[in-house]
Amino acid sequence: MEQIIETGRQLALDYGLNIVFAILIYIVGKGVAKIIKGTVVKLMTRAKVDPLLVTFTSNLAYAGLIVFVVIAALGQLGIQTTSFIAILGAAGLAVGLALQGSLSNFAAGVLMIIFRPFKVGDFIEAGGVAGIVEEIDIFTTQIRTGDNKTIYVPNGKVMGDSVVNYSTKDTRRIDLVVGIGYESDIKKAKAILEDIAASDERILKDPAVTIGIVELADSSVNFAYRPWVNTADYWAVYFDLNETIKLRFDEASISIPYPQRDVHLFKHENVA
């Protein structure tokens, strides 16, 4: 009987200490995890990282540390954690494969937030969509199109292709091709184009407008007409130039060719 009591005391002493140590490991580990989480938040906030990414990253780091602490506590109790770690690894792999597209979008979202190829309010062309960026989330980018539709583009699709940002520069060049007929006066047409550019205050003087014959086409002599404007004035000047060129050319009797087809009819007499 005494031997049984002694054995019980020894077991209680051994396992009791292990339980106490396991609890201490969990409490201390949890405290350290909170400290590390707070440090991550402070560093990322100081670096002016997007708040959404700060919250996600800090929570992810905290969860990973807690898993590590729990495994360490179980190991202190004498529980074999090798199989447990293997199960976690397999589960993580399965989840990763199931969420492959989402993880790709998440990674692209992180890169977008870090490298900032565009920001909210920019007019961009990306992922087959053109419009104003309204919101950048972890998984999608919200874009408002010119006809006031909202499109959510996966970040993986945005970063997987070329991104054209029309808002990063203060000025833009308008590229027009103006065709006149071969019978029209080239010098007169060029003088009109120069006068149009000089008369519009929205067209910048520096860089100077480029006007030159770019092609002797099948049915027209084509001018390259390339004035520079402020980015905010681009479309207004673009539309006005097309209208003004047509009106001024009509006044000066300068023809603007358009595709034509001559049809010749031949009459054949039936021979009896």
* Cβ neighbours of 254 (radius 10 Å): 19
CB of 128 closer than 8 Å to CB of 143 = no
Q: What is the largest CA-CA distance in the chain?
A: 139
* Structure confidence at residue 82 (pLDDT): 66
The CATH number, out of the four listed (1.10.150.120, 3.40.50.10330, 1.20.1440.230, 1.10.287.1260), of the domain defined by the range 2-98 = 1.10.287.1260
CB of 140 closer than 8 Å to CB of 153 = yes
* Structure confidence at residue 179 (pLDDT): 94
263 pLDDT higher than 90: no
223 pLDDT higher than 60: yes
Region 175-192: mean pLDDT is 95
What is the distance, to the nearest Å, from the Cα of residue 32 to the centroid of all Cα atoms in its chain?
Answer: 37
Region 181-210: mean pLDDT is 94
46 pLDDT higher than 60: yes
Percent of the chain with pLDDT over 90: 41
* Structure confidence at residue 74 (pLDDT): 75
* Structure confidence at residue 170 (pLDDT): 93
Percent of the chain with pLDDT over 70: 78
CB of 33 closer than 8 Å to CB of 80 = no
How high is the mean pLDDT of the chain? 82
The CATH number, out of the four listed (3.40.50.1820, 1.10.260.40, 2.30.30.60, 3.10.20.30), of the domain defined by the range 118-165 = 2.30.30.60
Given pLDDT bands bounded at 50, 70 and 90, which one contains residue 138? confident
For 90-109, write each residue's pLDDT tens digit.
Answer: 666 565 554 455 677 777 87
Region 11-35: mean pLDDT is 77
From 78-82, 223-227, 231-235, the region with the lowest mean pLDDT: 78-82
Same fold, 118-165 and 171-251: no
Exposure b/e, 189-200, CB count within 10 A at least 16 = b: bbebbeebbeeb
25 pLDDT higher than 90: no
* Domain coordinates in residue numbering, the chain: 2-98, 118-165, 171-251
For 51-81, write each residue's pLDDT tens digit.
Answer: 666 776 777 788 878 888 888 877 776 666 6
> Which secondary-structure segment (H or E) carries 86?
helix 82-98
Class of 171-251 in CATH: alpha beta
d(CA 10, CA 117): 66
Q: pTM for the complete prediction? A: 0.61
